[in-house]
């Protein structure tokens, strides 16, 4: 059995809803459109949350990978 790698988990989440938490306390939810080895990430239909509160809907968002703490399918 081949061992799985971390990016496999992101690949399985492609085009599905994910939650992305950032180092500055912001959370973005949306459909995972793209990511790369730096974990730079693009979400569609994105919503921005701070302290659990919806701040705004922002359509497409590019998130710089080094800001990300976790990504979780919803």
Q: How far apart are CA 40 and CA 50, in angstroms?
A: 20
Q: Does 16 bind a second copy (CB under 8 A)?
A: no
32 binds a second copy (CB under 8 A): no
Residues from 44 through 73 that contact a second copy (CB under 8 A): 46, 58-73
User: Rounded to the nearest whole angstrom, what is the least distance from the CB of residue 30 to a second copy in the complex?
Assistant: 11
Q: How far are the Cα atoms of 2, 56, 60, 67 from residue 18, in angstroms, in the given order?
A: 25, 17, 14, 16
Instruction: Residue 52: count other Cβ atoms within 10 Å of its Cβ.
Output: 6
Q: Which residues are at the interface with a second copy (CB under 8 A)?
A: 3-10, 14, 19, 22-24, 26, 28, 33-36, 39-42, 46, 58-73
């Amino acid at each position: 059995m081949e061992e799985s790698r971390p990016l496999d988990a992101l690949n399985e989440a492609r085009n599905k809803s994910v939650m992305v938490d950032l180092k500055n306390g912001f959370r973005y939810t949306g459909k995972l459109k793209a990511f790369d080895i730096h974990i730079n990430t693009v979400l569609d239909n994105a919503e921005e949350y701070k302290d659990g509160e919806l701040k705004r809907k922002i359509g497409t968002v590019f998130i710089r990978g080094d800001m990300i703490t976790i990504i979780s399918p919803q």
